[in-house]
Structure 1
Amino acid sequence: MLSDLPIASSGTAASPPPHQGMPPLDQEGAPLSFFEFWPMWAFYPPVALYAGWLMLRYRGITLPTVANPSFPGGGFVGESKAEILDLVVRHAPEWVAPFVTVDRPALERDAGAELALSNLTDQALKKLSDAGLALPVVAKPDLGCRGAGVKLIRTEAALSAYLASYPAGARLLLQQFVPFEGEAGVFYCRRPGESKGRLISITLKYFPHVQGDGQRSLRQLILDDPRAGKLPHLYLHRHADRLDSVPAPGESIKLAFAGSHSRGAIFRNGTDLITPAMEARFDAIAQSLPEFYFGRFDIRFENFEDVRNGHSFTMVEANGAGAESTHIWDRKTGLFKAWGDLMKQYKLLFQIGRANKDRGFKPLSLSEFRRWHRREKELTPLYPATD
């Protein structure tokens, strides 16, 4: 039982120590699985082939887009984070980190551009103030996945720089920063007509750190780390301005902020830590959302034991049909196990989509699906660098 295990804690009051409030990070064995960072074209073909068979079996190519009828596109592709979080705020506000949205207009490259950017920054700060929020906040794209464009904004100058580099015509969120090290992805599923849902996956997300020894530079600490040293392309560019500095003995340097595996977070499978109290809490939240059946809640918390008891966590995102059971990126998960778990997830997704279509809900047309998908793909490369 987790209650018999120590919860990681050490460090200073000014900054949460590495993995505070999380179950101890198991670092025995290989730091990475052999397929953990395969390109998408190498990992996903078996899952895509299986999804194609499910399209035939359940008679619908775009059935996932109706898995959650209250989410735009079911939350499968091109969905608005703000629209989904607004839905959660309306029905379960006490569990969501508050946020505001900002629309980034086109700024002409002329003498007035600097003034226009200053005005946009002022407007964003006023929106925050009107909502009772203040810096620091987390900036993130309204459309996007896999941690693209997520950045911790601590100063007005950083906010202005983020807005300046954000694609014109796109919307972004500024969300209250939840200053805890604990983060997890909690995957929920309920079939239409069922009285009770269940949790099918929990991913514990650990943010990588290196510790200074007063001798090695930050660059060398990263390269010498058993895991980070195998993934320097994920970390070195984020710390380019201090790579040659020498951290003091015992100084902890956080290498990544976004809780995304592809952006450098460490994922561990926490599914065996699910408790009845935890499942009941997330079922209550999920059932408070109209016509929500399938997706993942990304949460932050001070102590995971509280989460297991069904309280004291804050939702930073709610993901729909396009969410992934990210526990598969635990480096102890085998390749065939990872494929199998995703196939089980997709089977549930298509079954729910089919049931909802039979209830009269209309999935996106193929042309609508392509348009939504294309918009997301066009924007993603334009987002600011992820922290």
Structure 2
Amino acid sequence: MNVMTVERPARASVPISSFEFWPGWLFYIPVVAYWLWLGLRFRGFTLPTAANPRVETGGLCGESKSSILDQAGPEASAWIAPYVRMVTGENDLARAQALLSGAKLSLPVVVKPDIGCNGTGVRRADSVQALADALAAFPRDVTILLQELIPFEGEAGIFYVRHPGQENGRVTSLTLKIAPRIVGDGRSTIRELVLADERSGRIPDIYLPRLAGRQDEVLPAGVGMTLVFAGNHCKGSIFLDGHRDITDALERRIDAIMRDIPDFHFGRIDVKFRSISALRAGESFGIIEINGVGSEATHIWDSTTTLAKAYRDQLWHYRQAFEIGAAMRRRGCRPTGPFALLAAWRNQRRLMRSYPLND
């Protein structure tokens, strides 16, 4: 598979790890067991929801993406891709255009649901017609965001942890996200190219549904095509462990940004960046999303990561979430109750079932 890269090629020697696409219920059995043990140990199964007390459920599930971004102070706001929020209904296109104009935003934009996860429903709109199509694909009376498309090729997930009382937080994980591509030979169909690739050929059900209507198209020789726009592993993006690109400069920049979001202690920042060297310097990147305690350190989905390391890193991060939640509870913050958490999860699931297929 040809991949979009930013100074660094994807490692192709191990196209897919042995556990990378296990069913979620199977992979997360040890994680859930550990969570339950931590719940007993810290006297609260929903304790991590207190880690980010100004975010609904701490960002574990069902939270509004814009509600986190809205809390950003001037330091953090300068790094966040501008966005507007709207509720789908009548005259969506005209209202969207008016909102974009009022915010001095122009196409292209990214259309995404305000409540959701895993890139579900994320669409790119480069033209007025594409914007109209994206808006029409969503059900009515749903809150969505129209966000400026950051014109950088690189994408990364940066995990941030700061314990209450600590002067500075840490970047504990960095994941480089690579958009998989196929390249035409003038003879093979898109479907044949996907199936022939050593990675996509093993997981065609992830890529082919969003190519409906184009699977029998023959790509001209040398013409490339990106298979997925949303930078999510479960949607087909390739994830690489970027721990060696965590520098003091990047960590200082991320810490300054996240300390400008009140009482935010644990979560992942998704960014688009110009180049690896710029990211290492803590420069030339834009934030597209900030996720709370429901996010994970996604470097574990690097195909060279061992199962033991994946679990070790996952469990370490969730231990931090419980410890931070316990510290915030001592300061008077109340975790989300189990029934409220269940209601938030059910609402998120209901909404996600109604969203269109992502780009």
TM-score, structure 2 as length reference: 0.96
Uncovered stretches (5+) of structure 1, i.e. residues with no partner: 1-16, 106-115
Aligned to 1:101: 85
The 2-side partners of 1:42 and 1:20 are apart by: 32
The 2-side partners of 1:18 and 1:326 are apart by: 19
1:292 is displaced (CA, Å) by: 1.0
1:286-331 per-position Cα deviation (integer Å, ceiling 9, x unaligned) = 1122111111100001111101011110000011111100011011
State the aligned residue count: 358
Aligned letter for 1:25? A
Aligned letter for 2:287? M
SS at match of 2:278: helix
Aligned letter for 1:67? A
Structure 1: which 4+ aligned runs deviate by more than 6 Å?
none
Aligned to 2:34: 50
Give the counterpart of 2:181 among 179, 202, 209.
209
- The answer to whether the 8 Å contact 2:161/2:266 transfers is yes
Question: What is the 5 A alignment of 1:182-201?
Answer: 182-201=154-173
Aligned to 1:37: 21
Aligned to 1:143: 115
- The answer to whether the 8 Å contact 1:20/1:302 transfers is no
1:182 is displaced (CA, Å) by: 0.3
- The answer to whether the 8 Å contact 2:110/2:122 transfers is yes
The 2-side partners of 1:201 and 1:43 are apart by: 20
Aligned to 2:4: 19
The 1-side partners of 2:72 and 2:289 are apart by: 10
Give the counterpart of 2:253 among 277, 281, 305.
281
The 2-side partners of 1:220 and 1:375 are apart by: 39
SS at match of 1:350: helix
SS at match of 1:242: coil
Aligned to 1:257: 229
User: Is 1:366 aligned with 2:338?
Assistant: yes
Give the counterpart of 2:323 among 333, 337, 351.
351
1:237 is displaced (CA, Å) by: 2.0
Aligned letter for 1:58? F
Aligned to 2:136: 164
SS at match of 2:350: helix
Aligned to 2:306: 334
- The answer to whether the 8 Å contact 1:91/1:289 transfers is no
1:162-204 per-position Cα deviation (integer Å, ceiling 9, x unaligned) = 2223133321111111122200000010110111111110010
Give the counterpart of 1:241 among 213, 221, 245.
213
1:46-101 per-position Cα deviation (integer Å, ceiling 9, x unaligned) = 10010001001111121111101222221111110011111126552210100111
The 2-side partners of 1:170 and 1:129 are apart by: 21
SS at match of 2:160: strand
Aligned letter for 1:223? L
1:366 is displaced (CA, Å) by: 1.5
- The answer to whether the 8 Å contact 1:153/1:159 transfers is yes
1:122-148 per-position Cα deviation (integer Å, ceiling 9, x unaligned) = 001110111111121111111111111
1:262-309 per-position Cα deviation (integer Å, ceiling 9, x unaligned) = 000000111122111111111111112211111110000111110101
Aligned to 2:61: 77
- The answer to whether the 8 Å contact 1:22/1:303 transfers is yes
- The answer to whether the 8 Å contact 2:268/2:290 transfers is yes
Aligned letter for 1:161? D
- The answer to whether the 8 Å contact 1:89/1:96 transfers is no
User: Is 1:67 aligned with 2:51?
Assistant: yes
Q: Which segment is superposed worse, 40-49 or 152-161? A: 152-161
- The answer to whether the 8 Å contact 1:186/1:199 transfers is yes
Give the counterpart of 1:221 among 189, 193, 203.
193
- The answer to whether the 8 Å contact 1:67/1:294 transfers is yes
CA root-mean-square deviation: 1.4
Question: What is the 5 A alignment of 1:167-182?
Answer: 167-182=139-154
SS at match of 2:78: helix
- The answer to whether the 8 Å contact 1:181/1:207 transfers is no
Give the counterpart of 1:305 among 277, 280, 290.
277
1:238 is displaced (CA, Å) by: 1.8
Aligned to 1:6: none
The 2-side partners of 1:165 and 1:130 are apart by: 24
User: Is 1:314 aligned with 2:289?
Assistant: no
Aligned letter for 1:181? E
